[in-house]
Amino acid sequence: MRRTIDDLLAEARGKIGRLEPRAAAEATAGGAVMVDLRCAEDRNRDGSIPGAVRIPRTVLEWRADPSSASRDDRIADLARQLILVCNEGYSSSLAGANLRDLGFEQVSDVIGGFQAWKEAGLPTTEAT
C-alpha cells in the first residue's frame, strides 16, 4: 500500500515533540540546542535565530550521529535536547523522526518553523 507525504509527516510527528516558538525559545534558554536546517539562501533572505547551530538538512544525520566521522560535536550527543527548525515546520519534522531512529532521546521541532518564530516576535538576526 502506497503512503503519501501526509502519511509520512503524521508518522514523523508522532515520533517527536513539537514546540510552539515561545516554548522552543524557553527550552533553548534552558540548555536545548536549536538546529537551523534552512539553506543559506533562506537565512540570507529572512535572517537567523541567534545562537542556533546551522546545519543544512542535507547533512544533518551525518553531523548528528556520534559514530560518524563527519559528526558535529555541538549536536552529536544522543541525550542532548535538540530543537530543529526549518522554514515552515515540515522538513524539520521529517528530520526529527530520522534523529529519533538514530537513537536521539529528546528531539523536537518548531511548529510553523522560522516563519512562526519570526511572527511571534522572537529574536532574529537581520537578513543580509
Residue 43 CA to residue 48 CA, distance in Å, equals 6
Average pLDDT value for residue range 90-111: 98
Residue 123 CA to residue 82 CA, distance in Å, equals 19
Which residues neighbour 47 within 8 Å (Cβ) at sequence distance 6 or greater? 118, 124, 125, 126, 127
Residue 22 CA to residue 6 CA, distance in Å, equals 26
Residue 73 CA to residue 116 CA, distance in Å, equals 28
Report yes or no: 110 and 84 within 8 Å, Cβ to Cβ.
Answer: yes
List residues bridging with 109 in a β-sheet: 18, 84
pLDDT of residue 30: 97
Exposure class string for 12-40: b at 16+ Cβ within 10 A, else e: bbeebbbbebeebbebbeeebbbbbbbee
pTM: 0.96
pLDDT of residue 80: 96
Q: List pLDDT tens digits, range 4-58.
A: 999 999 999 999 999 999 999 999 999 999 999 999 999 999 999 999 999 999 9
Chain center to CA of 105: 14
Average pLDDT value for residue range 68-74: 98
Tell me what the pLDDT averaged over the chain comes to: 97
pLDDT-based confidence at 128, cuts 50/70/90? Answer: confident
Residue 117 in this model has a pLDDT that exceeds 80 = yes
pLDDT of residue 126: 87
Domain ranges for the chain: 5-119
CATH class belonging to 5-119: alpha beta
